[in-house]
Amino acid sequence: MRKKIIAANWKMNTTLEEAKNLLESLKNVVVPEGAEVILNVPFIHLYPLKSMVDSMSGFSLGAQHCSEYESGAYTGEISVNMLKEYVKYVIVGHSERRDLFDEDNEEVKAKVDVILKAGLTPIFCCGESRMLRETEEHLGFIQHQLAESLFHLTSDDIQKVIIAYEPIWAIGTGLTATKDEAQEMHAFIRTEIEHHYTLEIANSISILYGGSCNGSNSVELFAQADIDGGLVGGASLKGAEFGRMVMGVES
Ligand code: PEP
C-alpha cells in the first residue's frame, strides 16, 4: 500500500518568527495513520524548527533545493551532506528552479543522484506549461522529463523517489487541474514507470499532485486512484487550512 504524503513548500516565505507561529498552528494536527507530512521550509529555518518538528508525530522536514555538488567553491549553495543532519527529503526539479534558475533535465538528474547517494529521498517535480497542454504535447513532455532525469536509476533507487506532478499553469495561479486531468497524468506516469521497471515497482511509488491545491479541492484530488497526496505551496502557509488538508487525507 502506497503512503499518502502531504508535502508543504513554503518557498521563500516566513521570517523565523512567522515560521515558528506557523509550525505552532500545526502542533495539534493529527496525521492519519500511515500518512506523512513533509515541511519543506527555507534552509535557514531547518535548525531552529527541527526539535519541534521531531516532536510532532507524522511530520518531517524537507529542503526545497540542493547543490548538485557535494562540496567545494560554490558560493551560496548548500550540499546534501549539510542537509542530511536536518532533513530526509529534498525537492528537486521544481518548475520555479527550472524556469528562474535554468535547471535542465541533466542538472535535475545530477541532483537526484546526489540526493540518493546521501541517503535522502528526492521529491522529483515534473509538469508541463499551458501551451504544451493546449497543443496536446503534455504527455510526451512529461515522458521526456522522466526519461532524462529518473529512468537511469536502478530498480532499487527508483523506489526511493517520490514524484510530484505539478502542471506549471496551475502553480500559484489559482487554476487547478481537474480531478480527471490530474488522474490521467498520474496514471500515465505510473504506466511509464511500469514500462521501464515493473508493475510492482510502479504501484509502490507515491505520486503527488501540486498546483493550487487547497482546502476546497484536496479531498477530491487525493481520492483519485493514482494520486497519493499533494505538494502544496500557497495553502501550506495557512496553518488552519493546511491542517484540514492533512487530516482529510485518507491513508
Ligand atoms: C508548489 O510550489 O509546489 C505549488 C504547488 O504551489 P501552489 O500550491 O501555490 O500552486
Question: Looking at residues 30-34, what average pLDDT do you find?
Answer: 94
- Residue 94: active-site member: yes
Active-site residue, from 45, 166, 186, 192: 166
Compute the average pLDDT of residues 63-79: 97
Looking at 94, 128, 138, 192, which residue is catalytic? 94
pLDDT in tens, 208-240: 999 999 999 999 999 999 999 999 999 999 999
Distance CA 162, CA 201 (A): 12
Residues having CB within 6 Å of any atom of ligand 1: 9, 166, 171-172, 210-213, 231-235
Closest residue to atom 3 of ligand 1, CA basis: 233
| Mean pLDDT within 114-132 | 97
Q: Please, which pLDDT band fits residue 174 given cuts at 50, 70 and 90?
A: confident
pLDDT band at 1 (very low <50, low <70, confident <90, very high): confident
Mean pLDDT of the chain: 96
Q: How far is the CA of 232 from the centre of ligand 1 (A)?
A: 5
240 half-sphere exposure, CB direction, 13 A CA radius: 0
73 CA distance to ligand 1 middle (Å): 31
End-to-end CA distance of the chain: 9
Cα–ligand 1 centroid distance for 212 (angstroms): 6
